[in-house]
Amino acid sequence: MFEATASAPVNIATLKYWGKRDVNLNLPTNSSISVTLAQDDLRATTTARASSEFAKDELYLNDTLEPLGKRTLQVLAELRALRAEIEQKDPSAPKIADLKLQIVSVNNFPTAAGLASSAAGFAALVKSISLLYKLPHNDSELSVLARQGSGSACRSMFGGYVAWEMGSETNGLDSRAVQIADVNHWPNMKALILVVCAEKKDVSSTSGMQITVETSGLFTERVNTLVPELFVKMKKAILDRDFGSFAKYTMVDSNQFHAVCLDSYPPIFYMNDVSKSAVRAIHELNDQYKEPIAAYTFDAGPNCVVYYLEENEEAVLSHLGQAVSNVNGFPVEKMGSTPASTSTP
Ligand code: PMV
């Protein structure tokens, strides 16, 4: 039996990917940026095994046998083809490309946290099988495979601050993730997840993107003007450790992404009243400080991710605690996370 284990972190986009130019290959209509949460928490860890004793490919997710979806099969086929090339070139390489695989993946974060686990899951799957197959590719090259599983998974191939460059080729080989800076670049950056609702989202990101691409007029403005500008500015803000600018761009992008969802027909609502109260609370706080000391961002769901610097933790947590607990029936679970450590308010 051959075996390898690897893990990959959850990532949260601060400049969102929204829209596919090729649905099959998950090629995006814009480049995006993410901040990968803590190195130790919030990860998927996957062990891949190949053996002549396995009768079929199997995938276990948190101890449950899962059906192999179309995208997983596509990624497995690509990984096998790369291994087969190695075996063809080097006759002494063990013949494992044709062996069936057993893939066992575990998330160390609660499913109830409402976090999208597919990004970390696909990245860990690609990493573990590429180790098993001893593929010579670097993480950026492997991110092209993870992307085909779930677009945002390509960014989970790295820790820290990561860009997904949309690329222009039709085969998708240049649509890949690159690291902007590693996690130690900005050690006092922290992230907090306000879990507003742990249930599955109403409209999946794939179908939401399709409705937006087909119907929203604002979407053209987003992909042609706003995002290309923010992509350059946000990268610079990260490299300069300029929190005020990073925070502003993150909030502007989240707001514009949700505006594009609302501009879709039929409209897509991901944020709810509790999400909106968190937005108001953060603007109130930033107004008090006369500069952004906290930034919110929302993915395709109502949960709020808040970024802030460690020195402002008390101010941010106490303000959010008050503002948010004032909201009637706010079923919030707070989960703290930072690139360096975990904070539980
Ligand atoms: O990779 P997907 O298909 O789960 O889409 C992710 C979409 C957003 O989370 C809303 C944005 C992003 O860039 O992660």
Average pLDDT over residues 277-302: 95
What is the whole-number distance in angstroms between the Cα of residue 116 and the centre of ligand 1? 8
Cβ(299) to ligand 1 under 6 A? yes
Query: In the listed set 148, 182, 216, which residue is the last one of a domain according to the structure?
Result: 182
At 40, is the pLDDT very low, low, confident or very high (cuts 50, 70, 90)?
A: low
CA–CA separation, 207 and 90 (whole Å): 43
Average pLDDT over residues 314-327: 76
Range of the domain at 132: 2-182
**35 and 15, same structural domain?**
yes
Average pLDDT over residues 130-154: 98
- Residue 169 falls inside a structural domain: yes
**226 and 101, same structural domain?**
no
Residue 235, pLDDT above cutoff 90: yes
What is the whole-number distance in angstroms between the Cα of residue 204 and the centre of ligand 1? 10
The CATH number of the domain holding residue 136 is 3.30.230.10
Cβ(13) to ligand 1 under 6 A? yes
At 186, is the pLDDT very low, low, confident or very high (cuts 50, 70, 90)?
A: very high
Cβ(152) to ligand 1 under 6 A? yes
Percent of the chain clearing pLDDT 90 (strictly above): 78
What is the whole-number distance in angstroms between the Cα of residue 118 and the centre of ligand 1? 10
- Residue 33 falls inside a structural domain: yes
Q: Which carries the bigger pLDDT value, residue 308 or residue 197? A: 308
* Bridge partner residues of 334 (DSSP): 194
- Classified as helix, coil or strand, 339 is coil
Residue with structure tokens 């803590």? 38
Cβ(32) to ligand 1 under 6 A? yes
- Residue 292 falls inside a structural domain: yes
- Residue 344 falls inside a structural domain: no
What is the whole-number distance in angstroms between the Cα of residue 136 and the centre of ligand 1? 28
- Residue 114 falls inside a structural domain: yes
- Residue 342 falls inside a structural domain: no
Average pLDDT over residues 207-212: 96
Average pLDDT over residues 183-194: 89
Residue 332, pLDDT above cutoff 50: no
Q: Would you say 44 and 106 are in contact if contact means Cβ atoms under 8 Å apart? A: yes
CA–CA separation, 57 and 244 (whole Å): 48
At 29, is the pLDDT very low, low, confident or very high (cuts 50, 70, 90)?
A: very high
Residue 331, pLDDT above cutoff 70: no
**115 and 41, same structural domain?**
yes
The CATH number of the domain holding residue 254 is 3.30.70.890
Q: What is the pLDDT of residue 195?
A: 80
**162 and 205, same structural domain?**
no
Q: Which of 115, 155, 153 is nearest to 337 (CA)?
A: 115
What is the whole-number distance in angstroms between the Cα of residue 289 and the centre of ligand 1? 31
At 86, is the pLDDT very low, low, confident or very high (cuts 50, 70, 90)?
A: very high
CA–CA separation, 126 and 132 (whole Å): 10
DSSP string for residues in 149-192: H-GGGGGGGSSSEEEEE----TT-TT-EEEEEE-GGGSTTEEEE
What is the whole-number distance in angstroms between the Cα of residue 205 and the centre of ligand 1? 6
Q: Which carries the bigger pLDDT value, residue 330 or residue 261? A: 261
At 36, is the pLDDT very low, low, confident or very high (cuts 50, 70, 90)?
A: confident
ipTM of the complex model: 0.99
**231 and 177, same structural domain?**
no
Average pLDDT over residues 41-62: 94
**272 and 160, same structural domain?**
no
**215 and 166, same structural domain?**
no
Residue 142, pLDDT above cutoff 80: yes
Average pLDDT over residues 2-6: 98
Average pLDDT over residues 277-286: 95
Q: What is the pLDDT of residue 201?
A: 67
Query: In the listed set 182, 209, 235, which residue is the last one of a domain according to the structure?
Result: 182
Q: What is the pLDDT of residue 38?
A: 65
Query: In the listed set 182, 200, 234, which residue is the last one of a domain according to the structure?
Result: 182
Task: Look up the pTM and report it.
Answer: 0.93
Q: How many domains does the structure of the chain reveal? A: 2
CB neighbours of residue 189 within 10 Å: 21
**127 and 203, same structural domain?**
no
- Residue 19 falls inside a structural domain: yes
Cβ(17) to ligand 1 under 6 A? yes
Q: What is the pLDDT of residue 41?
A: 66
**156 and 26, same structural domain?**
yes
Torsion, Cα 36 168 270 180, to 10 degrees, reads: 20
**297 and 166, same structural domain?**
no
Average pLDDT over residues 32-42: 79
**49 and 175, same structural domain?**
yes
**244 and 105, same structural domain?**
no
- Residue 343 falls inside a structural domain: no
Cβ(303) to ligand 1 under 6 A? no
Cβ(150) to ligand 1 under 6 A? yes
